[in-house]
Amino acid sequence: AQSVSQHNHHVILSEAASLELGCNYSYGGTVNLFWYVQYPGQHLQLLLKYFSGDPLVKGIKGFEAEFIKSKFSFNLRKPSVQWSDTAEYFCAVNGGNTNAGKSTFGDGTTLTVKP
């Protein structure tokens, strides 16, 4: 079975601060990894994804994430957050062929950016 753990439930930052949200997953095989963002009152949308290749992936709005296979991690980063980044962030794992299409989500991290 696959599982996802997000370490921070609520993060509060000031504008221009750097952001790192932790995500660890549990799955023994090949994985596809995702970060989704949910702005207040909106549906989830894809922020970035890792399928294969370069473990450092870049997404929309200046976000990036690094896949570290040895640590089973896929942490999300942004050098300088903005007030508009206030949202809930979900890490998700989709485990290879067996579980292809069945994504497991973390519990989410609520990010509040103070202006």
Partner 1 sequence: DADVTQTPRNRITKTGKRIMLECSQTKGHDRMYWYRQDPGLGLRLIYYSFDVKDINKGEISDGYSVSRQAQAKFSLSLESAIPNQTALYFCATSESAQGRAGELFFGEGSRLTVL
Contact call for residues 103 and 36 (beta carbons, < 8 A)? no
Q: Which stretch binds partner 1 (CB under 8 A): 14-22, 60-68, 71-79, 105-113?
A: 105-113
CB of 19 to partner 1, least distance (A): 19
CA distance 35 to 62: 13
Please give the distance of CA 95 from its chain centroid, rounded to a whole number: 16
Which residues on adjacent β-strands are paired with residue 19?
A: 78
> What part of residues 27-86 is at the interface with partner 1 (CB under 8 A)?
32, 34, 36, 42-46, 49, 51-52
Q: What does the binding site for partner 1 look like in residue numbers (CB under 8 A)?
A: 4, 9, 32, 34, 36, 42-46, 49, 51-52, 90, 92, 94, 97, 100-108
